[in-house]
Amino acid sequence: MACWLVKSDPDTYALSDLQRDGTTRWDGVSNPVAVKHIRSIQKGDEILVYHTGDEKSVVGVARAASGSYADPKNAKLAVFDLEFVRALARPVTLATVKADPRFATFELVRVPRLSVMPVPPAIRERLLALSK
């Protein structure tokens, strides 16, 4: 099972919205690298949800409820269905991530505008440990 991080503006669609809805289609991504990552997502993959804007924090855990498929609005893009798992006990801020040298190669630090990215196992473990 792979792990991914997806970014969302909490004013547009927050983790609490996903919790309320249970599932949603993750769409609106047009960056070619992010779309490539979405095409690699498989049903059951773990998804870390990151709030952009003023929060700038990893705030929750979700799961891919489907593999990727063509965006019904634009077949050149890809989407997937996302289901809520849980909110983190303590959000992990971008400042915390940037201050920890173990995250230096993580795309959240290296490519900050990328909206969907893989999370290597060691990075996943560290993020989840920081959220307790």
The pLDDT of 24-44, averaged and rounded, is 97
The pLDDT tens digits of the residues spanning 64-91 come to 999 999 999 999 999 999 999 999 999 9
Q: How far from 69 is each of 20, 38, 39, 105, CA to CA, in Å?
A: 24, 9, 7, 29
With a pLDDT cut of 90, the percent of the chain lying above it is 98
The CATH code belonging to domain 3-130 is 3.10.590.10
**Domain boundaries defined on the chain:** 3-130
pLDDT of residue 124: 98
